[in-house]
Chains A and B, each alone.
Chain A
Amino acid sequence: MSTEDLRIVWIYPDLLSTYGDRGNMLILAARARARGIPVETIEIRSDQALPDSADLYLLGGGEDGPQALAAQRLNADGGLHRAVARGSVVFAVCAGYQLLGTSFFAKGAAYPGLSLLDLQSDRGPARAVGELHGVIDPRLGLPPLSGFENHGGRTHLGPGVSPLAQVTTGIGNDGTSEGAWRGNLIGTYSHGPALSRNPALADLLLRWATGAGYLPPLDDTWTDRLRHERQVAVAP
């Protein structure tokens, strides 16, 4: 292990890995290596201590029970809080996104979250399942968000965070806004391998994590075709 490597930690794949969540780690590693950046990927199970010195942390989706357990263990561990205080990057999807807030709903009760983002989640009237598209906060300089959501929660943002996107198709937080970000932390309801359809978002995370102002472009022909196809599929 070299300290020059980009270190990516996938937090608790034993608890938070519902549907292709591994994809985000694989995509970030592949896109970094394609630029000649050496990468170390680390999977930390829930019975291990979370290292606080990595560059980028990933949180995936999960069922109610594992989500509640993950919150409890992450709060007890404190590693993620120390990493965020050091300026590490966090990318969280679905249940992992809810975890970053002050509270979330699971198994019919409210649980304390990690309080890393000013937001709280409760239950919505119906499950949100389907394509999720939106216009991303212009300050991030990214093309539209394209993804798939599958969650029963609704998320209410406080003044300390900004929405990641304004919804054009789907539900996201509440039918209007989707996801949240502050500093180097991003959360989204676009679940599973969210970065597979959003390579520019993957590159933003890599730029934040490496401090590189610029990354040479990659051949994203297939991703572009996929994004276009999904855009056409949801067009009215």
Chain B
Amino acid sequence: MPLRAKVASSVSRTAAALSRAAGRGDGSVIGGWIGLKIDPELLKHLAAGRSVALISGTNGKTTTTKLTVAALESAGRVATNAFGANMPTGHTSALAKAGATPYAVLEVDEHYLARVLDETRPRAVALLNLSRDQLDRAKEVAMMAQMWREALAHHPDVHVVANADDPMVTWAAYHCASVTWFSAGQRWHDDSWVCPECGGAIERAGGDWRCTTCPLRRPRPQWVVEEDGVVDPTGAWHQVKLSLPGTVNIGNAATALAVAAQFGVRPADAVLRLGSVTSVAGRYAQVERDGRLIRLLLAKNPASWLEAFDMAEAAPTLLSINARDPDGLDTSWLFDVDFAPLYGRRVLITGDRAYDLAVRLQVNGIPFEHVTSFADALAAVPPGRLEVIANYTAFQDIRAELDRVN
């Protein structure tokens, strides 16, 4: 590593440590920012000599990254941006902090994929899904698929692990020289009715899909979720025992196994390690408080709300909605979510934008009670399980209130 990069890397670690000591978060953003100021090529230098995997997509990146790390650790030490700081500053800081490791698994914000591909020269990149997220600031779905497609065209040597069930992801990866397709199922279809190649209608039947006017169609997947396990490319079925709820996480596990296989890790070895992942940045965590067993589920866009309903048990459920900057200021997406799966449960609502949610639930015919704080919600329900589903900053607020650190 050049001297400039060594200095940058060292200062980056120090800044991160100072930031942590000052109680200003985990320091991964500020550390990386300072390091990149000193040496703009720092991420490139830090990634050189490591076998890197990138994980990107609208939903499931943090969880899939953590599962991939668990799988790869059977082969050697793995550097990762475990705090979900998924932009180049976060990657830089994570690699500087980890020191020399043979492997790195990095979660990448979907907007930054092109840059991080250029700088880290990964061996493999996993593309999970693309759906509407926060349209008042994010790129629209088709535009994002186009950006991915162009970025991948510049890196014909990268192996792509892509979701065959998502037409947008499939189109982005369709012409890549080296692709492994996986099928993890998809509950949300409302962003892929129009073919990104030709504008024709996309037709779905069972799990299959195809464009009705051009040759784009679902590729045959090599890794497939089947019941509570994953079928690998040889046809062998591996039971997946996770400590995380929901079918969606079996799909994330399949992706992790497919990525690990690119690094020579056999699925039979990797699958046993996946159960060690118990919570992801506080998500899925269970906390006991005053006899209430509280489980926190993060749902940040329509696709992830549908998955959260699948994970939550039939117990009293608290929904909390904010619309601060990180959430997106627009609450329109509430009408993209069908809350019908909650029918028959006791539903409580809270958060900065509880009234938007109230109006939505009324139209949905779901009775609810409004509470003004998390503490009031706890007091309102009897001892036993309480499911909490919240969007990003509402989730962080509740986590802080429960005083949890990961």
Contact = CB atoms under 8 A, between A and B. Distances in A.
Q: Do A and B come from the same complex? A: yes
B194 A20 contact: no
A66 to B, nearest CB: 6
Q: Binding site of A, secondary structure by majority: helix, strand, loop or mixed?
A: mixed
Contacts of B276: none
12 contacts: A18-B132, A18-B135, A20-B335, A22-B335, A27-B363, A150-B135, A150-B330, A191-B332, A192-B333, A192-B335, A193-B334, A196-B335
Contacts of A45: 193, 201
A155 B164 CA distance: 40
Interface in A1-52: 13-15, 17-23, 26-27, 30, 45-47
Interface in B175-211: 190, 193-194, 199, 201
A197 B359 CA distance: 9
Contact of B194 (A14, A191, A193, A196): A14
A23 B336 CA distance: 7
Contact of A15 (B135, B143, B194, B360): B194
B330 A226 contact: no
B363 A26 contact: yes
Interface string A109-138: 000000000000000000001100000000
B178 to A, nearest CB: 29
B34 to A, nearest CB: 31
A23 B363 contact: yes
A176 interface: no
B140 A17 contact: no
A196 B353 CA distance: 14
B118 to A, nearest CB: 27
Given A20-B332, A30-B363, A222-B358, A65 B142 contact: yes
A75 interface: no
Q: Which 6 A-B pairs have the closest CB atoms?
A: A23-B335, A192-B332, A20-B335, A20-B332, A226-B355, A14-B193
Nearest to B141: A63
A15 B332 CA distance: 17
B135 to A, nearest CB: 5
Most buried by A among B135, B332, B356: B332
Interface in B314-372: 329-336, 355-356, 358-360, 362-365
A196 B330 contact: no
B136 interface: yes
A69 interface: yes
Contacts of A223: 359
Contacts of B140: 18, 63
A148 B330 contact: yes
Nearest to A25: B335
Given A20-B335, A30-B362, A47-B201, 8 more contacts: A69-B199, A148-B136, A150-B136, A192-B332, A192-B333, A196-B360, A222-B359, A226-B359
A192 B362 contact: no
Interface in B113-139: 132, 135-137
A173 to B, nearest CB: 19
Given A69-B199, A150-B135, A222 B355 contact: yes
A192 B330 contact: yes
Interface string A192-236: 110011000000000000000000000000110110010000000
A196 B363 contact: yes
Nearest to A47: B201
B355 A225 contact: yes
A182 to B, nearest CB: 26
